[in-house]
Chain A
Amino acid sequence: MIDFLQNTLDGLALGSSYALLALGFTLIFGVLRRANLAYGPAIMLGCYCATWAYLKTGIGLLFLALIAVAGSTLAGVYVERLCFAPHRKGAAAAAMVASFALWMQFEELATLALPRHLYAFPALYAGGPLSLGRLTLRVESLVMLVAAILVCAALWRILYRSRFGTAVRAVIDSPAAAELSGISVSAVSLQVFALASAIGGLAGFLIVSGNEQVTPMLGMWSTLKGMLAMMLGGLGSLPGAIAGGVALGLREAHSQWYLGPQLRDFIAYLLLFVLLAVRPPWMNTRSAY
């Protein structure tokens, strides 16, 4: 029982990092109806910028967070302009492959700046875990959880209580109608890309400072986990992305405990495959914003 509770707690923490990644992915997917394969690599590049700055100057965590967020955002904007803005009408395959080409670019850029496979990243919190009775909770996990909740709340406010949010939801609903209402789909797409990449950058920073290390694998990992959580949550719904992320985290923590890492991943993909093939009702919503 205590194992089960502990796994659930770990899963929640892991799931909140997935939820953050999925939120960014979903924002982009909602607006563009395109999967951005370079989403994770842009995050990785942002985190590499932070690592590089840390190695060169040893500046503090807050600055590192800012650099990670700013780097990811810039990389995201670059991806949007080169891969998605030119392919707004049709050419989904071209957009996806172009984003893959930039993924390769980002990976090489990162390994060029920092050639080792693994670099240490300063820890978010130096002390030990908190204990709650017989359960333990890492402070990093707690921060991740709180950050996920705060980002969700802020995002909700932006989307449902601001002029920009109205525009974003209008573009998601119908790009044609949005243009005719005076909303620039191109500008909104770029802004959403920037916002999503910033959220991804924050998630990336929390993940690498929680793990106290950074590798180029972070790119592929973030894209896959973000995409997986997004698909589990129903493709294009923000509440769904959060639910999908948390579900993925919980499931991973439990199956890791009982089955080990390989079967854990196997089951994640099996679940996704079955869900896609069966398509339960919630996976058909194009709309749930």
Chain B
Amino acid sequence: MDEYAIGVLTNIGLFSFVALSAWLLLVAGELSFGQQAFFGVGAYAAGIGTAMLGWPLPLAALAAMALGAAAAALVGLPTLRLRGLYFTMATLAAAEMLRILFELFHWQIALGDERIGPDGTQGFRGIRWMLERGIEPLDFLAMVWILLIGVMVIFLRVENSRLGATLRALGHDPELARSAGIDVDRLKLGVVAAGGALAALGGALFAHHNTYIEPRNFDIMLGVHSLAYGLIGGLGTAFGPLLGVVLDIGVLEATRSLQGYRMIVFGGLVAVLLVFRPRGLLDERVVHWIRSRA
């Protein structure tokens, strides 16, 4: 495989994590514009872990996930009862606060003859755990996708479990779910925290793939994109957000002949697609149909 294809496939894998985390909230009935912040928290945390504290990547990634879950729960707690646009705006506000905190975050240590660590808007360079361990891009690609497949297995199992049905019930009508005896607040907090952890895992990998991160990587554009992936791909199955990412990154990269026009074409196509399929390509009906065939 050439380097370019490896890069595209790696990016598809990386952004699938944050897309899945936005999709998870979408299925539970809420639109979050804030998952990019937990992606960022994961990136910074894991970067600090390996590059500054000398931890191995797995440990740093676990710490990043814990921190991502904690940050998401912290944002989630005061906003549990918010619905619709109120919740969406609260997540956006929280995410922008976190991004500004990244901009204000200066903490560097001397390593050899250079200073390593987050340097505000200048970003955080030198996250070179991969290079130092001699891990090839192809190995990294495999690592990303193995993790992603692991996450997908969990998602698909949950989908067919009672928890999955409960989640969909919550997304369908929270009041009804509440009156059916579901502890809506706890469930929502769990979803939010799991989404935070998932996004953070993606961020941790992203930081090590890029070796350089800056606050701008985690702005609202990424958040809205993540949400859009799930909605384009479909709300019916966890493959939906993956399909969304593949369509965006994969197809757009493949059609570089459209250079300069691709968002014009793609943006229009997405809007038209949503007219006919407001719950995405793989919506509940399609998924049901496929299942009944299988």
Contact = CB atoms under 8 A, between A and B. Distances in A.
A and B touching (Cβ–Cβ under 8 A): yes
Interface string B256-274: 0000111110111011101
A97 interface: yes
B263 A92 contact: no
Interface in A84-106: 86-87, 90-98, 100-105
A266 B100 contact: yes
A93 B22 CA distance: 12
A108 B260 contact: yes
Q: Chain B interface residue count: which class?
A: 35 or more
Given A93-B231, A98-B274, A273-B93, A105 B263 contact: yes
B266 A112 contact: no
Interface string B97-119: 10011011000000000000000
Contacts of B262: 108
B31 interface: yes
Given A82-B275, A92-B84, A272-B89, A100 B96 contact: no
| Main DSSP-derived SS at the B contact region | helix
Nearest to B229: A97
A107 B100 contact: no
B94 interface: yes
B41 to A, nearest CB: 16
Interface in A232-275: 235, 262-263, 265-266, 269-270, 272-273
B85 A235 contact: yes
B275 A86 contact: yes
Q: Chain A interface residue count: which class?
A: 35 or more
B33 to A, nearest CB: 9
A82 B260 contact: no
Contacts of A95: 274
Contacts of B94: 269, 273
Nearest to A107: B263
A112 B90 CA distance: 34
Contacts of B79: 276-277
Interface in B112-164: none
A104 B96 contact: no
Nearest to A272: B93
Interface in B164-198: none
Given A104-B263, A108-B260, A98 B271 contact: yes
B95 to A, nearest CB: 9
A246 B198 CA distance: 39
B93 A269 contact: yes
Interface of A: 35, 37, 82-83, 86-87, 90-98, 100-105, 107-109, 112, 220, 224, 227, 231, 235, 262-263, 265-266, 269-270, 272-273, 276-277, 279
Leading 10 A-B pairs by shortest Cβ distance: A105-B267, A101-B270, A94-B278, A277-B78, A91-B278, A108-B263, A273-B93, A101-B267, A269-B93, A86-B275
